[in-house]
């Protein structure tokens, strides 16, 4: 089962900054598994085009338990002995220093290469993903791109108060490609042969990096597992500040308990759309629950009875609907109806009793640093009209750099690459609709859904939060499914999943390849995947 990490920073859950850790339990049965005894010595590495190698080091590790660094933390145990090779790169004249780490199992290498993406504003893995990959027999690479931890944005503004172009370019695209080149070269040197297959894995920021690889560097990987991808970065990062803009402009701040009541009511109302009450909304596009139905409802929170007001319902309605201009033109999709509203619509009470919004740090930092170029900019003052200007500014300044929304994947298809994605339908930080929108754009560009299915498949996971962080995993083993597709030509029609429904019960489902959705057969145990089948969405 895939795992994801959570952490706390300044009292805010770092859910969007999660590392997605795929497993590969099926790998041991494949013919490419290789018993290997490797030497751990610093290899000679040829610098990728446009770079210079500053240093190469090699350290032998005994393995055991690996503790994750930085805010995400976490740990993985049972890691076998491995060789850690670190290559530091610079782009001459640009003053940057990017480290590429490659961990190589000293025995029982499975013959495969894996690269791992990052989280929030971190470009690479914190050690837990690397350890997990080594534990599963992979030689694995990640890069820090010369930037910092998940919320370390000290690199963004230069001494003149302008956005620093070199680290942004590294973070957006360049360093991932260079890590692929360096990592493969290290593998070749240490093992004396090339990896049989190469894969990229990541979720959130890592998912975006995977899509960037497919778009800009189509020959780097045989397969890319890119989940809950932060594509359309320049647009959705501003869009996810919208709930806070609504709270502050309406001067209405529903409590956490009231927000939960709205979500719970929506899930309950839309639960039966797939033919059975199973505690999951399998097709949220058909859910038209009106939050005004809760006006006057009593909610008990910390022993205090609260009454949901028309103002509360109006706020939630705007948040679900998503950002619009003052004239009503839709800018982006809103928070999914089944998602945790507290992720983006949380508020706090100051010591003087004043209630104000508490924005999620990732979009907050994007607006303050990349758009306003002012770390102290007061986000509570953003009006609806200024929000539209910020959205348009972000698109104009950054789409070409980090938008990651080029629908032309013809070179990736020609290279024989496979792209696999799952995205939680209850993602509270990256609206699923953005991924669906990108998939539709690819279909229009590349000849329709059937031709796209040949190399790119999307699976939507009911009841699943951002990167499966609330224990509601979207797939039992996405990496194994991807490897079967790449190595055996077995395209996944479904992905087996264990989900947690609204009652906290675990249920089995086979995630359906988009645009199909799961529908109850009319009989059978609703907790079993065999009681459901994939059918076209009725939306």
Q: Catalytic one among 122, 175, 198, 204?
A: 204
Q: Is beta strand 52-61 parallel, antiparallel or unpaired with respect to 12-13?
A: unpaired
Q: What is the dihedral of CA 186, 187, 191, 196, to 10 degrees?
A: -150
Active site residue 44: no
Q: Catalytic one among 96, 405, 427, 484?
A: 427
Of 204, 178, 260, residue with least CA distance to 18: 204
Q: How far is 322 from 426, CA to CA, in rounded Å?
A: 15
Helix H or strand E encompassing 305: strand 304-307
Q: Catalytic one among 347, 426, 466, 484?
A: 466
Q: Can you list the alpha helix ranges (DSSP code H) found in 304-448?
A: 310-321, 342-345, 361-365, 384-402, 410-414, 432-445
Q: Return the bridge partners of 461, or none.
A: 424
Angle value at C-alpha 17, between 16 and 18, nearest 5 degrees: 95
How far is residue 342 from each of residues 72, 242, 261, 345, measured CA to CA in Å? 20, 13, 11, 5
Cβ-proximal residues to 93 (8 Å cutoff; 6+ apart), any chain:
none
Of 464, 432, 5, residue with least CA distance to 228: 432
The angle that helices 310-321 and 242-250 make with each other, rounded to 10 degrees, is 150
Transcribe 306-339 into DSSP letters: EE--HHHHHHHHHHHH--B-TT--B-S----TTS
Q: Residue 407 in contact with residue 209, Cβ under 8 Å?
A: no
Active site residue 67: no
Q: Residue 170 in contact with residue 145, Cβ under 8 Å?
A: yes
For residue 350, count other CB atoms closer than 10 A to its CB.
8
Transcribe 136-203 into DSSP letters: TT-EEEEE-TT--STT--TTSB-TTSSB-HHHHHIIIIIHHHHHHHHHHHHHHHHHSS--SEEEEEEE
Q: Report the first-to-last Cα separation within the chain, whole angstroms.
A: 31
How would you label 447-471 residue by residue, b for 16+ Cβ within 10 Å and e otherwise?
eebeebeebbbbbbbbbbbbbbbbe
For residue 26, count other CB atoms closer than 10 A to its CB.
14
Q: Please return the burial class of 205, using the count of CB atoms within 10 Å of its CB with bins 0-12, 13-18 and 19+.
A: buried
Active site residue 427: yes
Q: What phi, psi does 479 have (nearest 5°)? A: -70, -40
Q: Residue 76 in contact with residue 134, Cβ under 8 Å?
A: no
Active centre residues (catalytic): 204, 427, 466
């Amino acid at each position: 089962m895939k795992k994801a990490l959570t952490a706390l920073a300044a009292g805010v859950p770092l859910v969007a900054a999660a590392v997605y850790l795929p497993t590969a339990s099926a790998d041991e049965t494949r013919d490419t598994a290789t018993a290997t005894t490797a030497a751990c010595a610093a290899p000679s590495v040829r610098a990728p085009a446009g770079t210079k190698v500053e240093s190469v080091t090699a350290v032998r590790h005994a393995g055991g338990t690996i503790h994750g660094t930085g805010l995400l933390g976490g740990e993985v145990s049972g890691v076998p002995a491995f060789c850690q090779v670190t290559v530091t790169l610079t782009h001459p004249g640009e003053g940057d220093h990017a480290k590429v780490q490659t961990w190589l199992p000293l025995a029982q290498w499975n013959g495969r290469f894996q690269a791992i993406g990052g989280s929030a504003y971190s470009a690479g893995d914190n050690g837990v993903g690397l350890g997990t990959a080594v534990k599963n027999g992979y030689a694995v690479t990640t890069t820090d791109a010369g930037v910092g931890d998940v919320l370390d944005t000290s690199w963004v503004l230069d001494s003149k108060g302008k956005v620093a172009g070199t680290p942004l370019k590294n973070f957006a695209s360049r360093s991932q490609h260079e890590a692929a080149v360096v990592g493969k070269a290290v593998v070749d040197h240490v093992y004396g042969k090339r990896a049989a297959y190469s894969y990229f894995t990541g979720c959130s920021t890592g998912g975006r990096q995977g899509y960037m690889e497919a778009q800009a560097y189509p020959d780097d990987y045989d397969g890319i597992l890119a989940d809950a991808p932060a594509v359309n970065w320049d647009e959705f990062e501003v869009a996810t500040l919208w709930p806070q803009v609504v709270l502050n402009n309406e001067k209405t701040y529903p409590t956490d308990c009231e927000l939960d009541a709205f979500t719970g009511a929506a899930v309950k109302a839309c639960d039966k759309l797939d033919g059975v009450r199973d505690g999951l909304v399998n097709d949220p596009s058909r859910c038209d629950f009106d939050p005004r139905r809760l006006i006057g409802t009593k909610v008990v929170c910390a022993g205090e009875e609260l009454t949901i007001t028309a103002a509360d319902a109006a706020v939630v309605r705007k948040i679900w609907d998503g950002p619009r201009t003052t004239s009503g033109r839709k800018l982006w999709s809103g928070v999914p109806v089944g998602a945790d509203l507290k992720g983006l619509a949380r508020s706090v009470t100051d010591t003087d009793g004043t209630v104000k919004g508490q924005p999620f740090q990732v979009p907050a930092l994007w607006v303050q640093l990349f758009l306003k170029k002012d770390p102290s900019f007061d986000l509570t003052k953003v009006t609806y009209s200024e929000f539209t200007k910020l959205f348009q500014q972000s698109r104009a300044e950054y789409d070409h750099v980090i938008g990651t929304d080029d629908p032309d994947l013809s070179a990736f298809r020609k290279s024989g690459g496979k792209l696999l994605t799952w995205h939680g339908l209850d993602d509270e930080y990256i609206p699923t609709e953005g991924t669906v929108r990108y998939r539709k754009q690819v279909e229009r560009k590349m000849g329709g859904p059937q031709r796209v299915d040949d190399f790119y498949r999307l699976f939507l996971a009911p009841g699943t939060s951002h990167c499966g962080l609330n224990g509601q995993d979207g797939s039992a083993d996405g990496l194994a499914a991807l490897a079967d597709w790449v190595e055996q030509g077995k395209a996944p029609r479904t992905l087996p999943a264990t989900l947690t429904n609204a009652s906290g019960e675990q249920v089995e489902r086979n995630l359906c390849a988009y645009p199909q959705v799961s529908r109850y057969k009319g009989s059978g145990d609703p907790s079993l995947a065999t009681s459901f089948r994939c059918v076209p969405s009725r939306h």
